[in-house]
Structure 1
Amino acid sequence: MSTLPLRAAGLVVVLGLAAACGTTTAAGGGSGGGDAGPPRPGGTLRLGISSNPDCIDPQQWGTNAALNVGRQLVDSLTDQDQASGKIIPWLAENWEVNPDSTSFTFTLRTGATFADGTAVDAAAVKTSYDGIKALGPKAQLGNGYLAAYKSATVVDPKTVRLDFSAPSAQFLQASSTMSLGILAPAAYQKSPEQRCQGEGLIGSGPFVFESFKSNQQVVITKRKGYNWGSPQFKHQGEAYLDKVEFRIVPEPGVRTGSLASGQLDAITDVQPVDEPQFAGNGFTEPVRANPGIVFNLTANTTRGVLTDVKVRQAVSKGVNRQEVTDTVLTKNYKAATSVLGSATPLHLDLSKELAYDPDGAKKLLEEQGWLPGPDGIRVKDGQRLSAKIIFSLVFNQNQSVLELVQQQLRKIGFDLQIEQRTTPETQQLTLAGDYDFIWYNTTRADPDILRQLFSTKAGNRSKLSPGNPLDAALDKQAATVDEAARKPAAEEAQRLVVEQAYSIPVFELTQVWGLGPKTHGVGFEASSRMQLFDAWIAG
């Protein structure tokens, strides 16, 4: 689920919680109960979502609520295989990348059209990418993906070349996202604010926009004649559903109650307390871990006690990640094994480096002169071993997780002070660097998310000095799409972040949705957002 932390950075918004029972899937689609026979076309999917999308233009907004709508309206140049992470054709049938990953030439398939009947051609792709670049920070995800974008050149009607001012290996994966989904040239005759509300939001996807009533619902309908789906889709031709109603139901209990009573066909973001309602009875819960940055405490290495790497390493050793998933979450959650989630391409398993080791933590602190005070919190030269973490209560488990981590760290003599802020306040403090620790996660199915957040040339959330070894590793992984060359650099970056404790990884985000007995084929795409092309309703 996009932010700074979470929502403000536009990368993750919501936390879905996995049930201990029901059907789970790591990719593809979930199904309702029983043998419903072959998929049948027609019908309306009533889908309960946990928050208002605010803006449904996928080129602008980065929340799950928005992207789950936008993914159905737009196609992308490429797609990403959910299992392997490999980039595969979609609107582009093939592509070439120059040796330093600064130029990408795409050859487009024939026959794809936008909902207004115009062709998806090279000129349209240029207009769309130029339009995303012009949005600047309003393109919450695309602005980062296109940070080095210079221009697009129409080579011929089927061929477009996209040029960058710096090596941008990450762009190939970015081209598969809905945030860089292609809109028709006519869409840019409308203002960004108008497109946010669906006006002129013309894509080439399997569904088209019908209506948007803020804090109530978004309605999309089947695109007639659609026949250029991704190879990831389980069928070709038109979508099965005639209509999808995204009904905005923020209260988890109301959402699950509406699914249980048949008022909704599916919901997002099932909470642990509601899981027993879906223990059988034909209900299922598709589950998929999110790729990208796991939920973590990112340290500002220029602040207070966190300037000492030994202190940061002690904090990491003092966190019992398995206890977090066992106590606060569910068995379908994974304790972090790296700063990147295990579903991220080029993830490196650093479980040994992240093992719970309270004795080792205490030893590190004692070596640095931190001795237990009267209340158990360590003291050195009259200073308490303390740091503050800021977070936004974007989903219900944030505070419970942090309170447990706080208890764990007290056992090694570290005082973690928890401070809840509003999302705008957290964004402001993050951008200003006014924090000791920040708590967040970000979703992206590419290791370059590390560069976006930790490079001194980008987000620099740990406030490192330029020219450090992490910068070198992040630059190297950004320089080539050749996995054999990129993999060692991406692994080195993960190792440095963990070993230097720039980040204290805790657990992986998981998406879980509830499906009613008649609902089938609701699927995930590679970033664990929703894909409804194969969804259908049984009679």
Structure 2
Amino acid sequence: MHRRRVIAMPKLSSHLKILATAVLGGLALAGCGNSDSADGETTGEPQSGGTLTYASGDAEPDCLDPHYGGNYPQGLIATQYLETLFTKDEDGQTIPWLAETSEVSDDGLTHTISVTDGITFHDDTPLTSEAIKANIEHLQDPETASSTGFLAVEKVEEVEIVDELTADLHLSAPDNALEESLSMHWTAIQSPEALARDVQENCADPVGTGPFMFDSWEREQQVNLVRNDDYVLPVESDRETDQAYLDGITWRMIPEAATRYAALQSGEVDVIDNAQPDTIQSAEDANIGHLDSPRPGAANRLELNSSQAPFDDVLVREAFMRSVDVDGGIEALYFDTAPRSHSLLSSVEPLGYSDESLFTQDVEQANELLDDAGWTERDDDDVRMKDGERLEIVMPVSTNQSVPAEQSLFEQFQSQSAEVGFDMQINLLDLSSWYAALGEHNYDLVSAPYTKVGPSVLRILYHSDSIEPAPSGYFANNAQVNIPELDETLVQAEETTDDDERAELYEQAQRTVLEDHYVLPLYDQQNHFLYSADVQNMGDTSAIAAPEYYNVWLDQ
């Protein structure tokens, strides 16, 4: 379950799950309602009606079908109209959602999944086993250009229809992460009839089973969702009806952080994302709620490109990490909103390994490491030299993905690493140019968020296979780690059926990556949402830590 904090406003403690949903629905009807943000008291009953306005600071997705591409903004909005076969409970365990049952063969090569009867898509197509087959084939189709979704189902060789509700997924190799992967909205289940359309048509009008459904898209302005009046909750509930309380959701694009927060303060919008650290701190005293929901999968980190000089030398990689003060930068810039991480994995993942001693700042040691690596000369700018080459490192930064505090942190690293002789160049790029720079390997270090449920994200990020791009053209091994022994460990970790062995193998893999200084962990991938006092029951999140609005209502 995603660890999260809600400040100043009431929340329910868990996200919708099989048993938790029944409890949550009962509580909502019993009187969790209006909020007095001063003391957290709640009164009244849920009200139906009203449209919630959500303002996002992320770049507008090119496609509303999260199968296509697979970035986080797609997952945020798709959570409202698409549902997944599985989800996560409050203990972080994978449990069925649209799926009713799931069994795995003794050899791990066949996953038998039965879907819940009586569910229909927004186009009135019934949910059957054919939907499982159609969606996996859609994810694997090169024309879909999937990244996260493609990698999630890469081992599925064939989907065999057993009966109307049941399908056998035949795998090329065991995959103990498959159901975790099928809990993500990049693998959400869409109408087979809709998927039969061409890619662009499905991008503009995805069809799911969720409590809200797509209505219209005003490009570069907003996406309009409306309540699905025929929604059937796929689990038991004490709610009188299965339908959402809200009439709809208006999903606006407001890139500038100050403008977004001003819109929240004025009542123009109800919820904002990408809240800045100083804004979060001030919001606590302004009757504004705060949902802290860090993403699963990988921690936010700097990855050093080990395929080319100068970071092909482990001494230089460690020297850079010893030259910067990560703790001091986070403390100064993030106002206690981003606890420091020393792990490759998010804090919401139970199998993370960390070793703080690998990343403590030590300028004297950094200088000694660079001397030992042969960077002993200096030019007129005090930049270290070796064989006539300057110790220059290039870092592309996406202005669409990076918040101002993060850019300031990187600028601190730039200044601090210069003290030991690095010339760190920060290139601010729009999202498409940033992706192009990564695709051309035109970087020495990069911060590239990657969200996936479960520790199997480590195979995507650090197995040598991931040096090659997925069908979308996106590749995930930005550190360019290429260690055969590590590859073997990651494969074994994904294939074992023994939980203890899985944990041990993932620890071994993390130790290899961290101890060889391929990656500098920073903090969890940040998900901070601020919301007005009129927004009630905010707090439920999907497996990918996206807010769900099924139980949210407006105090009108």
TM norm. shorter chain > 0.5? yes
- 1:285–1:514 contact (8 Å) kept in structure 2: yes
* Distance (Å, rounded) in 1 between the aligned partners of 2:237 and 2:394: 44
- 1:476 equivalent to 2:492? Answer yes
CA pair 276-464 structure 1, distance change in 2 beyond 3 A: closer
- 1:209–1:221 contact (8 Å) kept in structure 2: yes
- 1:58–1:71 contact (8 Å) kept in structure 2: no
Q: Which amino acid aligns with 1:102?
A: L
SS at 2:454 equivalent: coil
Q: Which residue of 1 aligns with 2:161?
A: 154
Q: Which residue of 2 aligns with 1:390?
A: 396
Offset, 1:537: 0.8
Please list, as runs of the form range in 1=range in 2, the aligned pairs for 1:28-107 lying within 5 A after superposition. 28=14, 33=37, 34=40, 35-50=42-57, 51-81=59-89, 83-107=90-114
Q: Which residue of 2 aligns with 1:163?
A: 170
Q: Which residue of 2 aligns with 1:11?
A: none
* Distance (Å, rounded) in 2 between the aligned partners of 1:235 and 1:534: 12
SS at 1:418 equivalent: strand
- 1:429 equivalent to 2:437? Answer yes
* Distance (Å, rounded) in 2 between the aligned partners of 1:464 and 1:119: 45
Offset, 1:49: 1.7
Q: Given the two structures, how large is their TM-score scaled by the length of structure 2?
A: 0.85
Offset, 1:509: 2.0
- 1:268 equivalent to 2:273? Answer yes
Q: Which residue of 1 aligns with 2:522?
A: 506
* Distance (Å, rounded) in 2 between the aligned partners of 1:152 and 1:129: 8
- 1:399 equivalent to 2:416? Answer no
CA pair 293-236 structure 1, distance change in 2 beyond 3 A: farther
Q: Which amino acid aligns with 2:421?
A: G
Please list, as runs of the form range in 1=range in 2, the aligned pairs for 1:112-511 lying within 5 A after superposition. 112-136=119-143, 138-198=145-205, 201-229=206-234, 237-275=242-280, 278-371=283-376, 373=378, 375-394=381-400, 395-397=402-404, 398-459=406-467, 460-465=477-482, 467=484, 469-480=485-496, 482-511=498-527
CA pair 219-421 structure 1, distance change in 2 beyond 3 A: closer
Unmatched tracts of structure 2, length 5 or more:
16-32, 468-476
Q: Tell me which moved more, 523-532 or 84-93.
A: 523-532
Q: Tell me which moved more, 148-157 or 53-62.
A: 53-62
Q: CA RMSD in A?
A: 2.9
Q: Tell me which moved more, 143-152 or 492-501.
A: 143-152
Number of aligned positions between the proteins:
518
- 2:67–2:144 contact (8 Å) kept in structure 1: no
CA pair 140-104 structure 1, distance change in 2 beyond 3 A: same
Residues 506-536 of structure 1 deviation map (CA, whole Å, 9 limit, x = unaligned): 2322111111011022332232222111211
Offset, 1:90: 0.8
Identity of aligned residues (%): 26
Q: Which amino acid aligns with 1:295?
A: N
- 2:185–2:544 contact (8 Å) kept in structure 1: no
Q: Tell me which moved more, 358-367 or 488-497.
A: 358-367
Query: 1 or 2 for the larger relative contact order (CA 8 Å, sep ≥6)?
Result: 1
Offset, 1:456: 1.0
Residues 30-67 of structure 1 deviation map (CA, whole Å, 9 limit, x = unaligned): 99635243333322111112242332112224333322
- 1:60–1:141 contact (8 Å) kept in structure 2: no
Q: Tell me which moved more, 166-175 or 67-76.
A: 166-175
- 2:122–2:228 contact (8 Å) kept in structure 1: yes
- 2:55–2:252 contact (8 Å) kept in structure 1: yes
Offset, 1:384: 3.6
- 1:100–1:480 contact (8 Å) kept in structure 2: no
- 2:294–2:526 contact (8 Å) kept in structure 1: yes
Offset, 1:231: 7.7
Residues 298-356 of structure 1 deviation map (CA, whole Å, 9 limit, x = unaligned): 22223122121122122222232211211222311022211222122411132232333
* Distance (Å, rounded) in 1 between the aligned partners of 2:8 and 2:377: 48
Offset, 1:412: 3.2
- 1:302–1:463 contact (8 Å) kept in structure 2: yes
- 1:154–1:161 contact (8 Å) kept in structure 2: yes
Residues 277-309 of structure 1 deviation map (CA, whole Å, 9 limit, x = unaligned): 523342111112222223322222231221211
Offset, 1:235: 9.5
Q: Which residue of 2 aligns with 1:515?
A: 531
* Distance (Å, rounded) in 2 between the aligned partners of 1:273 and 1:185: 45
* Distance (Å, rounded) in 1 between the aligned partners of 2:445 and 2:235: 41
* Distance (Å, rounded) in 1 between the aligned partners of 2:340 and 2:506: 21
SS at 1:209 equivalent: strand
